[in-house]
A and B are shown apart, each in its own frame.
Chain A
């Protein structure tokens, strides 16, 4: 009897979690007909925002993966003094409120910021520019990837790397041919998390790069711009973002399970 009650309790908890997390998303589609979705894509601004979101999030993701993967590998496989301090510092943006992230970026890369004049001398403009969006997305999304990748690398059997070395592989080759594929699933889920975070980024982008259609107005900013005067249009664009995000995340997950990335068929 007790056991049955416990099992019912577990199922009830799961039901509540599922209902609370999915109902709002379902609501978007209840309020939005497929026609609305399609017509919202007919607007130039909406298409620009979608394209900009895709472009900037992919650029940020490329930077994160190319620089972050070796960094995560180093953190996962080497012991050195101050390692845990470094890990904590890298994870800090995870807990920063977006508004603080925006202010922090302005204070460092803005015209009046720490590196403002240096960037200006180099002819680099970030604030109110598409490049600024990429910087903001990279800043907020990178820790998600770094965390996952570091965990994935730490879980790779060190004997595999040692075996690769005794089979004539340099450290770099062991990293590329053995460590990365073995950590493939963790890396893929890190990409999914970072990409999801980048696609949804709002506060830091708004403060650092502004909200100019076609230049810095990503989908979340476009939804916010519409929300006050045209709720239906905002809903439709939200629906589009949900579908695009879900499709991207799903494809990354599927790719992570595929043998190419070292995943094993279930």
Chain B
């Protein structure tokens, strides 16, 4: 089944937007990137709230926008649901009236159908409440119910979890995954959080400065990032340096600011060396012993952040890097800001991309 196809060039203040996007089937795709990359604008173009020229939007063989042929369907003519970042619930209408607002069909059975829609998301009992009296999580469910009330063929979600506090977010995220699987609509989620994109979407488009820089599954983007930007976004440590051939068929990377790495990747010139934080082990400073880990960097501890039973250790080599260790290691290695340790990892865990 053919899905959604978008091509657009547009100018936004400082940003030159130039995107081409093709999503097949009826799954969920994510557009991920830093704020100001133009992600929300892509959604607005699909929804018909922005009219780029040149621009083309085709949804399942239905042309919504074709600037070359003067076709431009109005937002209300596109079968497209859009959930705004702040949810944009109508403050003067109760929850069920918010949901019923977009419902087609006879007036008299709108309430019944709106209630049914609210029940799908477990907020039926809030039908008569005004948005101002709802919690963040409840608002999100009402907004989701509303954006699906017209049975859209494509559902656009702009930072669906950003307005929630961290405690609600994990739960709401799991529910959202469930809800998106349950709808026949093709979903496109915009987020600045790679892990959120990985959780919600089958396919991820990484966006930077108005362009898509790479597409792939979360695993592909993590394992084979096309650039240091993507790698950084996908959670890798990124160290800049210059690569040249070394003994034993390995590649030697002289890091900017000092330090040497080895990698099994075979490229030359200015590179970004990538390594996952959980591949990095920490040893007491100055300890010399045999290990298969070829890469050994003297580093200084900058920060220690516990996350459950593990901890993210911010390090300076002097280039910044991050290691993930168990909470137990914090004590045994006496990790605290200012402590000097050695970061080690294998050459095989070191990926290189051209800069």
Q: How far is the CA of A113 from the CA of B187 in the complex (A)?
A: 64
Option from A167, A177, A264 in Cβ contact (under 8 Å) with B91 = A264
B132 at the interface (CB under 8 A from A): yes
7 A-B residue contacts at CB 8 Å?
Answer: A163-B82, A164-B90, A165-B76, A166-B76, A166-B102, A168-B150, A182-B90
Which chain A residues lie closer than 8 Å to B80 at the CB level?
166
Identify the closest chain A residue to B80 (Cβ): A166
Q: Which residues of B contact A (CB under 8 A)?
A: 44, 47-49, 74-76, 78, 80-82, 84, 86, 88, 90-92, 101-102, 104, 130, 132, 146-147, 149-150
| Most A-side CB within 10 Å, residue of B47, B92, B104, B132 | B92
Do B91 and A169 have beta carbons less than 8 Å apart?
Answer: no
Q: How far is the CA of A128 from the CA of B190 in the complex (A)?
A: 65
Measured between C-beta atoms, what is the minimum distance from B269 to chain A in Å? 46
A228 at the interface (CB under 8 A from B): no
Q: How far is the CA of A165 from the CA of B44 in the complex (A)?
A: 12
Do A169 and B92 have beta carbons less than 8 Å apart?
Answer: no
- Interface residues of B: mostly helix, strand, loop or mixed? loop
Which chain B residues lie closer than 8 Å to A264 at the CB level?
91, 130, 132
Do B47 and A166 have beta carbons less than 8 Å apart?
Answer: yes
| Most B-side CB within 10 Å, residue of A160, A167, A181, A262 | A167
Identify the closest chain A residue to B94 (Cβ): A259
Which chain B residues lie closer than 8 Å to A165 at the CB level?
48-49, 74-76
Which chain B residues lie closer than 8 Å to A259 at the CB level?
92
Do A168 and B102 have beta carbons less than 8 Å apart?
Answer: yes
Option from B74, B102, B132 in Cβ contact (under 8 Å) with A167 = B102
How many A residues touch B, CB cutoff 8 Å?
A: 20
Q: Which residues of A contact B (CB under 8 A)?
A: 157, 159-160, 162-170, 177-178, 181-182, 184, 259, 262, 264
Q: A162-B88, A167-B149 are in contact. Are A177 and B82 (CB under 8 A)?
A: no
Q: How far is the CA of A165 from the CA of B76 in the complex (A)?
A: 5
Do A162 and B75 have beta carbons less than 8 Å apart?
Answer: yes
Q: How far is the CA of A184 from the CA of B91 in the complex (A)?
A: 12
Q: How far is the CA of A237 from the CA of B17 in the complex (A)?
A: 67
Option from B44, B48, B49, B92 in Cβ contact (under 8 Å) with A262 = B92
Q: A162-B49, A162-B75, A163-B82 are in contact. Are A169 and B88 (CB under 8 A)?
A: no
Option from B81, B91, B104, B130 in Cβ contact (under 8 Å) with A166 = B81
Option from B44, B82, B92, B149 in Cβ contact (under 8 Å) with A182 = B92
Do B101 and A167 have beta carbons less than 8 Å apart?
Answer: yes
